Structure 1
Amino acid sequence: MSCPDCFRGTIHNHGPGAEGVKGYEETIHGKRTYIATPSTAADSQSTILFVTDAFGIDFINNKMLADKYAAGTGLRVLLPDLIPGGGLSTSVMGIMDRISKPVSWWNVWGQLKRIGAVFRAIWYVAPFMMRASPAKAYPGVLEWTRKLKADMPAGAKLGVAGFCWGGYQSTNMSKEPAVEGGSVRLVDAQFCAHPSGLSLPDMIVDAVTTFKVPYSLAQADVDIVLPTEKVLDIEARLRQAVGDGQGEGGYNYEIKIWKDCHHGFAVRFKPGEGEGAEGAKDQAIEWFKKYL
């Protein structure tokens, strides 16, 4: 969870009523929650839980994407403030860009500015990781999600979409029962993009096999956190364990690698990554429409 691309990207624009969706906030189980409600609702009473990247509920890109999921599926999408202490300031994005910008070795002033940017980045990122590392936050996220599932109407399903920090949460919740010690699964469909902090390949294999939760992964082909080689190894392990993921034995999974994209592209896509971000968005929508 500590690679530079976890904290880089582009801030996008968001207008009221984007995607034909009504978006508003209210408190659910003690957490401030952005709710995206589609103007044309699906017949299903299912809900999609959107678990954000490190920038949290106030990052406009996350709300934009939640709106798109609601519009595309016709389902209610909930984006709760689940990060302990709140999300990371978007100011760190510009700092990371300055660190990554090439500077000639003889440019003393440029090198000094880069060193200063490194210390500023540490000032932001280190406290965040201490209070809100994915593993440390997970018990609280799990507890909140179980409360959400318990409040849903009979027969309604719960889909979870996780991004970077949230991909750790959504992946691990796929192997959890709805109540501790129970035999009914908590999550009915899972989508994640460029997850961070996972122990691989075991966590993803367990997510697919424990409760046979339909599992979809959108991955960048240029990703320091989860390189393509590891993604291919995960896919090979899954094929060996449960087949091709097309429903044999009740197992459903898909892994798509999006070309010319970097870690964070599904939410914070930069110039040149828009096609991959759009593809990952459609991947998630079709997955949730199929299983929710």
Structure 2
Amino acid sequence: MSVSKCCIQGFSWQGTPTGHTNSKLATNNVYITGTNPDIAILFIADLFGWSFPNVRLLADHYAREVGANVYVPDFFGGEILDFNLIAEEKFDQLDLPGFIGRNGREQREGEIFACARALKQELGYKKVGAVGYCYGGWASFRLGGKEHEQEDGSDQLVDCISIGHPSLLTKTDIDEIAVPVQILAPEIDAAYSAELKSYTFETLQRLKVPFDYQHFPGVVHGCLVRGDEDKPGERAAMVRGKDAAVWWFRRWLKDD
């Protein structure tokens, strides 16, 4: 599959991303799209990274349909994996252990927290959401952790999160969540196992955190960003996932 074929097409996906990359968020290079000075969404990308066209087109959709400024930072230190190899799931041809070793939780968590803090504390956004796919899943849970909550319940780093096919997620991440959570879960997903899915569902109920759990039958890990029209049901799942996230962010970030 070529990169051009992998890019989202149909409804309003044709064309090129409309945002810009001439600013930084905290110390990270960032793609920015949108015009709302009050509402921001921090988009934490999967292995495709911040420069993948689908990621930026998704960000444009969130900006337009939610009515928010969307920030997609580079959390991989400028490293870009081969788009085609990821899209075709040829992971044996990628040095994933080395990549995760350079860009894992310990290496990047501080940058991710700093970017979220910058949105409220430096840029003055009143409401901030986080959306994370695959790699971005654990990071979004960490952003919504109760460790960031002040005694009066205010000043969380983010006000809500939406997660698609998370990886590197732990039970402790789930135990610590303190903001509304949306889970977009493909049926076939070794990274987000049936056992961890069940744990998520049961724990969020126990914690009494508002949540939305959506099951995507017949599709696999990565579908919500890849959107390959040649894989049965994948393009439709991607559209459904985008629509669900838009609804979730409008519910928790908008006053109307």
Deviation of 1:47 after TM superposition, in Å, equals: 0.5
Q: Counterparts of 1:7-46 in structure 2 under 5 Å?
A: 11-13=6-8, 22-28=18-24, 29-37=26-34, 45-46=38-39
Partner of 2:127: 157
In 2, Cα distance between equivalents of 1:170 and 1:269: 22
| Counterpart residue number, 1:290 | 251
- How far did residue 228 of structure 1 move? 2.8
Instruction: Report the CA distance between 1:84 and its aligned residue.
Output: 3.0
Q: 1:54 offset after TM fit, Å?
A: 1.6
Alignment CA distance shift 1:153-1:19 (3 Å): farther
Aligned-pair CA distance for 1:85: 4.2
After TM superposition, give the deviation of residue 25 of structure 1 in Å: 1.3
3-state SS in 2 of match to 1:162: strand
Partner of 1:5: none
Count of aligned pairs between the two proteins: 241
- Quote the sequence identity (%): 26
C-alpha separation between the residues in 2 aligned to 1:162 and 1:184?
A: 20
For structure 2, list consecutive stretches of 5 or more residues without a partner in the other structure: none
Match of 2:175 among 177, 184, 205: 205
Could you tell me which residue of structure 2 aligns to residue 220 of structure 1?
186
How far apart are 1:205 and its partner, in Å?
3.0
CA 13–253 in structure 1, closer or farther in 2 if over 3 Å, else same: closer
Residue of 80, 85, 110 corresponding to 1:92: 85
Q: Assess, with a 3 A threshold, how the Cα gap between structure 1 residues 17 and 32 changes in structure 2: closer, same or farther.
A: farther
The change in CA–CA distance for 1:53 and 1:152 in structure 2 (over 3 A counts) is same
Moved runs in structure 1, 4+ residues, more than 6 A?
14-17
Q: Is the contact between residue 138 and residue 170 of structure 2 (CA under 8 Å) also seen in structure 1?
A: no
- Distance in 2 (CA, whole Å) between partners of 1:23 and 1:263 is 27
Q: Secondary structure of 1:195's partner?
A: coil
1:169-210: per-residue Cα shift (whole Å, max 9, x none)? 11111014279xx9621111111101110112x312311xxx
CA RMSD, 1 decimal:
2.8
| Deviation for aligned residue 1:140 | 1.9
Determine which of 220, 230, 233 is the counterpart of 1:262: 220
Runs of 5+ unmatched residues, structure 1: 1-9, 100-117, 243-250
